[in-house]
Amino acid sequence: MATPKQNEVSITLKVANNLASPRILVIEPWLTEYALPQGKTLDVVLTGDPKYALEVNLDDERITVFCFDSAGATMSVRDQGVEAKHLTWPRSRERDVEELTRL
């Protein structure tokens, strides 16, 4: 992980799915998606300018993390310290269900 530059911070946000069904973790503004099965916790490591707010939105199927929207901002998602594999495109509901059930 890169060292934050002046006026930047690095934050690790733990995102846990304690619900009875799988969810999709969406990272914005990168529009990257990760499977988040029941009982799983992923670490979202964010580096950027803290004057831009972080935001987390929950809905029925997904958890969306809006990260620092500053020049040079970085993001990584880790599963037990290892870079997590993001879901593939193009997305479809059937493909989401198939990928989530393989986990």
User: Within a domain: residue 4?
Assistant: no
Q: How many domains does the chain have?
A: 1
Residue pair 78/13 in contact (Cβ under 8 Å)? The answer is no
User: Within a domain: residue 41?
Assistant: yes
23-59 pLDDT, tens per residue? 999 998 877 899 999 999 999 998 888 888 889 999 9
Residue pair 29/75 in contact (Cβ under 8 Å)? The answer is no
Q: Both tokens of residue 8?
A: 């930047």
If you ran DSSP here, which 8-state letter would residue 100 be given? H
Counting residues of the chain whose pLDDT is more than 90, the rounded percentage is 43
Q: What is the pTM of this model?
A: 0.77
Q: Both tokens of residue 7?
A: 């006026």
Domain that holds residue 38: 9-101
